[in-house]
Amino acid sequence: MSDFDLYGVFVPSFLIQAILAYFVFVLMSYLTDRLDMQGWTGLFKLCLYLVCLLLVHQVFVEINK
């Protein structure tokens, strides 16, 4: 994948994907905040963000085919 040109500033596509994944993560975390994980919340949120990033990246790959 290539970079995006925003008024002469090249922005990596992975940075845009990470920002979009963060917004998806925030929406998903509202749904999962009610789960009682007994000390595993940090690890769960990290994994949830990585899954969101994977899904957003897959969408970008499918769009750019």
Q: Of 29, 23, 22, nearest to 45 (Cα)?
A: 29
Spell out the residues 6+ positions from residue 30 whose beta carbon is closer than 8 angstroms to its own: none
Instruction: Give the per-residue pLDDT at 34.
Output: 79
* Token couple for 28: 């998903």
Give the strand pairing for 9-11 and 4-6. Answer: antiparallel
Q: Mean pLDDT across the stretch 5-26?
A: 92
User: In this predicted model, what pLDDT tens digit does every residue of 18-48 receive, in sequence order?
Assistant: 999 999 999 998 888 777 777 778 888 999 9
Rounded CA-CA distance 45/43 in Å is: 5
Residue 1: per-residue pLDDT: 59
pLDDT of the residue at 64: 83
- pTM, two decimals, is 0.83
